[in-house]
């Protein structure tokens, strides 16, 4: 990168103004975390060793319009002195007579730290007169404040009109070349992580990044402005009302360019910044009187999954930054790539990855019990050596296909093809008109019968509807509820889905709850938010025992009938998410026993790869279930997969 750097400056005998970012967290009158101080040491050492007199300047915190003893750089001077093993005197101010005199007196190889630049409001106003006064303190300028370099403040921008040559410090140089490499010739997919409090600080950056990256992960306070732009209520969380439109247009740009956007799906909320504890809630559940202060555990999972796709280790490791001392999530805004590598998040990520691997391992060992046959069938899943095993389940959804003339040979073909199979539960869901006929054909076999919908009432004046007891009478054990085609074509809402689940359960049917996002929702990074919303609303009011009797089918709407299935990894991410949410809504045991099926363009040639994912417990097959041989082959593959995965 062709920038003048400190190494190219003739430093000997010169007075150099070094603008650093020494905005370190303080606690009990001392520096609580000296990472930022350490980061600037190489530049200071180089300048001092080459015989420069260093006038060092920084801001600290956000003083309100004047000097504030609590935000003096005194503790910073002290810690810096320890790190450099030499005294670091602190000037009483950053401008004015006394400061100028002190700066003039600094000798070659010595250092003077100026008091907090922001004690003067002119600093943040990029005031030219103030910048001129700063410029008078030295002969040349070095900017090593990477984290503040995007600001048009007097010590960053205006000063360079009065003090030349101006060069980049070593930290700045390192950060710029890392950034340059990533933005100019990135390995793809390229994921950017943004955070910090404000959208307003980073509008240009966001706009620029949307044109470069494959995915944008947005955390920190600024995420709430984006969530508001998407119509979420975010309680008292930090929102910049005048930036909601900006956020909306960034989302729109990202959508148009096909950039994947990941926003928080849950948050840790509390009464205020000073609260000592918080609790995680779904992003749609932030109470009006609380504020989101951190991302929640499911968001960490989701962000981790997005980051796992990035091939550049540095960016990946720069992932997230958890706020020090509190529960504020901050990403990106506060610092550069180099430092991020050491962030605590890395350790958490490793821990989580370990846990996830354990879980995958556990889930791969699923097997056993079948779909309940009786009206009061017990929970699926049982403990096996301390682990819960889940029997794969394959359901054929015939949709509006199957006159009796078509349904009979299809059902017989499946029955004959599956004479000797085990290790998989199989259900066929023909249209209502074919239920009785198919029921007769599969009677006495292990193949179950299911319906594609039901009403929630047991009886009544509901012309054209079918009640759960009618299905039970025909031998149905299963009923699909909330299929996206019904949601879309019949306007079926989450509330209706909830009622139907309750109605089905009341008559001993196993509801297969279908959830899934549209292509648009996935593009906007709303996959998890959508699925979570559907699940929460559909399961509202159900007790743990009721949830234990369900099957969930994740069916991304964009994959249904399109021939484009979700990749096993995409599906597994959502399945894991569903399980996590059910664990929260019901219990861990219920979540472990829950079968989560994948649906959407499942065929004989992709079922192996999908079911190889430990989180995918079977398939809801549409189009491919209309061919007896094809469906039989899907079931057999699932059976073989299960046998291989077994003990
Ligand atoms: P598909 O349908 O397999 O034809 O994509 C799946 C479903 O609608 O359940």
- Both 330 and 409 in one domain: the answer is no
Q: What's the rounded mean pLDDT across residues 103-113? A: 96
Q: Which of 480, 482, 561, 604 to mutate to test the pocket of ligand 1 (most atoms within 8 A of CB)?
A: 561
Identify the weakest region by mean pLDDT among 137-141, 368-372, 432-436, 622-626: 368-372
CA–CA gap between residue 594 and residue 497 (Å, rounded): 18
With a 6 Å cutoff on the Cβ, whether 272 touches ligand 1 is: no
Confidence check: pLDDT of 565 > 90: yes
Look up the CATH number of the domain holding residue 620: 3.20.20.70
Domain limits for position 244: 186-362
The CB of 599 under 6 Å from ligand 1? The reply is yes
Residue 245: the pLDDT is 85
Q: Which residue has the higher pLDDT, 325 or 154?
A: 154
Identify whether residues 230 and 286 lie together within a single domain.
yes
When pLDDT is averaged across residues 601-622 and rounded to a whole number, the result is 95
Segment 512-524, tens digit of pLDDT: 999 999 999 998 8
- Strands across the sheet containing 111-113: 111-113, 53-57, 15-19, 140-143, 166-168
Counting Cα atoms < 13 Å in the Cβ hemisphere of 112 gives: 25
CB 144 near ligand 1, within 6 Å? no
Element at 172 (helix H, strand E): helix 170-184
Provide the sign of the torsion angle of the four alpha carbons 402, 408, 412, 413, taken in this order: negative
Residue 373 lies in a domain: no
411 and 274, same domain (yes or no): no
Is the pLDDT confidence value at 14 over 50?
A: yes
Determine contact, residues 3/173, Cβ cutoff 8 Å. yes
Classify 323 in phi/psi space as left (phi over 0), alpha (psi -120 to 50) or beta. beta
* pLDDT (0 to 100) of residue 645: 61
Residues 152 and 220 in one domain: no
Highest mean pLDDT among 177-186, 292-301, 482-491 belongs to 482-491
The protein residue whose alpha carbon is closest to atom 7 in ligand 1 is: 622
Let me know whether 352 and 416 are in one domain.
no
- Choice from 395, 399, 489, 619 to test ligand 1 binding pocket (greatest atom count within 8 A of CB): 399
Residue after which a domain boundary falls, among 173, 198, 218: 173
How far apart, in whole angstroms, are the C-alpha atoms of residue 415 and residue 447? 7
What's the gap in Å between 418 CA and the centre of ligand 1? 21
Q: Note whether residue 258 is domain-resident.
A: yes
Cα–ligand 1 centroid distance for 603 (angstroms) = 10
Q: Are 54 and 110 in contact (CB under 8 A)?
A: yes
Annotated catalytic residues are 483, 555
Total number of domains constituting the chain = 3
Which band of pLDDT confidence, cut at 50, 70 and 90, is reported for residue 644?
A: low
Residues 6+ apart with CB under 8 A from 504: 454, 456, 468, 479, 481, 510, 511
Residue-level pLDDT at 375:
29
Q: Are residues 409 and 551 in the same domain?
A: yes
Cross-strand partners of 412: none
Tell me, rounded to whole angstroms, the distance of Cα 233 from its chain centroid. Answer: 18
Determine the distance separating the centroid of ligand 1 and the alpha carbon of 400, expressed in angstroms.
12
Confidence band, pLDDT 50/70/90 cuts, at residue 641: confident
pLDDT surpassing 80 at residue 571 = yes
Q: What is the mean pLDDT of residues 477-501?
A: 95
The strand pair at 382-384 and 387-389 is best described as: antiparallel
Residue 291 lies in a domain: yes
Distance 221 CA to ligand 1 centre (A): 39
Q: Which of 452, 481, 601 to mutate to test the pocket of ligand 1 (most atoms within 8 A of CB)?
A: 601
Q: Among 385-394, 415-424, 502-511, 608-617, which is the least confidently predicted range?
A: 385-394
> Is residue 622 lining ligand 1, measured as CB closer than 6 Å?
yes
Looking at residue 330, its pLDDT comes to: 30
| 336 and 398 both lie in a single domain | no
Which of the listed residues 362, 396, 430 is the one where a domain comes to its end? 362
Ligand 1 contact via 607 beta carbon (within 6 Å): no
Q: What is the pLDDT of residue 196?
A: 79
Coil, helix or strand at residue 57: strand
Burial (0-12, 13-18, 19+ Cβ within 10 Å), 362: middle
Q: Over the chain, what is the mean pLDDT?
A: 84
Tell me: do 305 and 274 sit in the same domain. yes
Q: Please indicate, yes or no, whether residues 393 and 329 belong to a single structural domain of this protein.
A: no
Nearest residue to 189 via CA among 308, 271, 37, 84: 308
Residue 645 included in any domain: no
Residue 250 has pLDDT above 50, yes or no: yes
Residue 370 lies in a domain: no
Residue spans of alpha helices (H) in 333-377: 337-340, 344-364
What CATH number should be reported for the domain holding residue 122? Answer: 3.40.50.1260
What average pLDDT does range 6-32 have in this prediction?
Answer: 94
Question: Is 463 found in the same domain as 342?
Answer: no
| CA of residue 247 to ligand 1 center, whole Å | 35
Half-sphere exposure of residue 269: CA atoms within 13 angstroms, side-chain side: 22
- The dihedral sign for the CA sequence 188, 358, 269, 582: positive
Answer yes or no: are the C-beta atoms of 311 and 187 closer than 8 Å: yes
Q: What Cα–Cα distance (Å) separates residue 253 from each residue in 78, 208, 256, 524, 641? A: 47, 11, 5, 10, 42
Show Cβ contacts of residue 301 under 8 Å, excluding neighbours closer than 6 positions.
352, 356, 576, 577, 580
Give the pLDDT band (50/70/90) at residue 439: very high
* Residue whose token pair is 């119509």: 231
Angle at 638 between CA 632 and CA 642, to 5 degrees: 145
- Cβ of 602 less than 6 Å from ligand 1: yes
Measured N-to-C along each axis, helices 244-257 and 222-229 cross at an angle, to the nearest 10 degrees, of 80
Confidence band for 316, pLDDT divided at 50, 70 and 90? very low
| Cα 139 to middle of ligand 1, angstroms | 72
Instruction: For residue 400, tell me if it sits in a domain.
Output: yes
Predicted local confidence at residue 2, as pLDDT: 65
Q: Is 452 in the pocket of ligand 1 (CB under 6 A)?
A: no
Question: Which pTM value belongs to this model?
Answer: 0.48
pLDDT of 362 > 80? The answer is: no
Query: Residue of the nearest CA to atom 9 in ligand 1?
Result: 622
pLDDT at 310 over 50: yes
Question: Over the stretch 36-81, which tens digit does the pLDDT of each residue have?
Answer: 999 999 999 999 999 999 999 999 999 988 999 999 999 999 999 9
E strand or H helix at 180:
helix 170-184
Taking the CA atoms of 114, 120, 124 and 125 in sequence, report the sign of the dihedral they define: negative
Percent of the chain with pLDDT over 90: 60
Q: Is the CB of 123 under 6 A from ligand 1?
A: no
Residue nearest to atom 6 of ligand 1 (CA): 622
Question: Which residue among 428, 622, 627, 630 has the greatest number of ligand 1 atoms within 8 angstroms of its CB, and so is best to mutate?
Answer: 622
Note whether residue 455 is domain-resident: yes
Which pairing describes strands 215-218 and 260-262: parallel, antiparallel, or unpaired?
parallel
Please tell me if the CB atom of residue 630 comes closer than 6 angstroms to any atom of ligand 1.
no
Express as a percent the part of the chain with pLDDT over 70.
86
Radius of gyration of the chain (CA): 31
Structure tokens that stand for 115 in this block? 């008091």
Nearest-CA residue for ligand 1 atom 2 is: 622
- Judge if the beta carbon of residue 555 lies within 6 A of ligand 1: yes
Domain stops at, among 116, 150, 173: 173
Q: What is the bridge-based pairing of β-strands 279-282 and 266-270?
A: antiparallel
The CB of 556 under 6 Å from ligand 1? The reply is: no
CB contact at 8 A, 205 and 213 = no
The response to whether residue 621 sits with its C-beta less than 6 Å from ligand 1 reads yes
Give the CA angle between residues 316, 573, 321 to the nearest 5°.
30
Kindly give the pairing relationship between strand 551-554 and strand 510-515: parallel
Whose CA is closest to atom 8 on ligand 1?
Answer: 622
Q: What is the pLDDT of residues 152-187, one digit of tens each?
A: 899 999 999 999 999 999 999 988 887 777 777 777
Q: Which pLDDT score, from 0 to 100, does residue 374 have?
A: 30
Cβ-contact 571, 289 below 8 angstroms? no
- Distance (Å, whole) CA 132 – CA 138: 11
Query: Do residue 396 and residue 544 come from a single domain?
Result: yes
- Comparing 167-181, 256-270, 336-350, 480-494, which segment has the lowest mean pLDDT? 336-350
Based on the fold, state whether residues 452 and 522 are members of the same structural domain. Answer: yes
Is the Cβ atom of 625 under 6 angstroms away from ligand 1?
Answer: no
**For atom 1 of ligand 1, which residue has the closest CA?**
622
Distance 398 CA to ligand 1 centre (A): 9
Question: Is the backbone peptide bond immediately before 189 cis, with ω within 30 degrees of 0?
Answer: yes
Average pLDDT value for residue range 182-196: 79
Residue 509 lies in a domain: yes
Q: 557 CA distance to ligand 1 centroid (A)?
A: 9
């Amino acid at each position: 990168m062709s920038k003048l750097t400190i190494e190219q400056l003739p430093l000997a005998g010169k007075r150099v103004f070094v603008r650093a970012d020494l905005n370190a967290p303080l606690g009990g009158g001392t520096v609580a975390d000296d990472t930022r101080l350490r980061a600037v040491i190489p530049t200071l050492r180089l300048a001092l060793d080459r015989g420069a007199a260093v006038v060092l300047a920084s801001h600290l915190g956000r003083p309100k319009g004047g000097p504030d003893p609590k935000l003096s750089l005194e503790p910073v001077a002290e810690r810096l002195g320890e790190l450099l093993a030499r005294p670091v005197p602190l000037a009483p101010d950053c401008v004015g007579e006394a400061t100028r005199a002190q700066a003039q007196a600094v000798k070659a190889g010595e250092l003077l730290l100026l008091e907090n630049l922001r004690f003067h409001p002119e600093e943040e106003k990029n005031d030219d007169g103030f910048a001129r006064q700063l410029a008078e303190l030295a002969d040349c300028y070095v900017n090593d404040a990477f984290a503040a370099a995007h600001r048009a403040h007097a010590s960053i921008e205006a000063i360079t009109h009065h003090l030349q040559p101006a060069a980049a410090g070593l930290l700045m140089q390192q950060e710029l070349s890392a950034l340059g490499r990533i933005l100019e010739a990135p390995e793809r997919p390229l994921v950017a992580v943004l955070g910090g409090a404000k959208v307003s600080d980073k509008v240009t950056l966001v706009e620029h990044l949307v044109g470069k990256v494959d995915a944008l992960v947005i955390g920190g306070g600024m995420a709430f402005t984006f969530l508001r732009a998407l119509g979420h209520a975010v309680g008292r969380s930090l929102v910049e009302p005048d930036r909601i439109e900006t956020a909306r247009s960034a989302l729109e740009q990202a959508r148009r360019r096909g950039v994947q956007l990941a926003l928080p799906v849950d948050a840790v909320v509390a009464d205020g910044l000073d609260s000592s504890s918080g609790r995680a809630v779904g992003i749609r559940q932030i109470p009006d009187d609380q504020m989101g202060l951190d991302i929640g555990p499911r968001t960490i999972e989701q962000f981790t999954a997005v980051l796992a796709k990035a091939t550049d280790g540095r960016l990946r490791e720069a992932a997230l930054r958890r706020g020090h001392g509190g529960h504020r999530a901050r990403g990106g805004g506060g610092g550069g790539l180099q430092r991020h590598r050491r962030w605590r998040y890395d350790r958490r990520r490793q821990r989580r990855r370990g846990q996830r691997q354990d879980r995958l391992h556990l889930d791969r060992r699923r097997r056993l019990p079948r779909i309940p046959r009786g009206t009061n069938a017990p929970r699926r899943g049982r403990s096996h050596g301390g682990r819960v095993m889940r029997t794969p389940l394959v359901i054929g959804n015939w949709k509006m296909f199957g006159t009796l003339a078509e349904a009979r040979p299809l059902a017989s073909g499946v029955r004959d093809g599956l004479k000797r199979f085990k290790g998989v539960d199989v259900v066929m869901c023909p249209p209502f008109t074919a239920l009785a006929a198919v029921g007769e054909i599969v009677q006495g076999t292990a193949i179950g019968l299911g319906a594609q919908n039901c009403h929630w009432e047991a009886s009544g004046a509901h012309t054209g509807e079918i009640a759960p007891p009618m299905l039970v009478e025909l031998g149905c054990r299963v009923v699909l509820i909330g299929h996206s085609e019904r949601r879309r074509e019949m306007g079926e809402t989450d509330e209706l889905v909830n009622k139907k689940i309750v109605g089905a359960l009341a008559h001993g049917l196993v509801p297969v709850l279908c959830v899934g996002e549209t292509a648009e929702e996935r593009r906007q990074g709303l996959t998890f938010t959508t699925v979570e919303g559907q699940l929460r609303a559909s399961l509202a009011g159900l007790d743990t025992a009721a949830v234990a009797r369900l099957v969930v089918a994740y069916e991304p709407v964009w994959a249904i009938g399109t021939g484009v299935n979700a990749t096993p990894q995409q599906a597994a991410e959502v399945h894991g998410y569903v399980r996590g949410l059910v664990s929260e809504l019901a219990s861990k045991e219920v979540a472990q026993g829950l079968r989560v099926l994948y649906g959407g363009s499942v065929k004989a040639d992709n079922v192996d790869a999908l079911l190889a994912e430990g989180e995918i417990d079977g398939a809801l097959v549409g189009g491919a279930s209309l061919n007896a041989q094809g469906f039989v082959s899907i079931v057999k593959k699932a059976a073989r997969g299960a046998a291989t995965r077994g003990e």
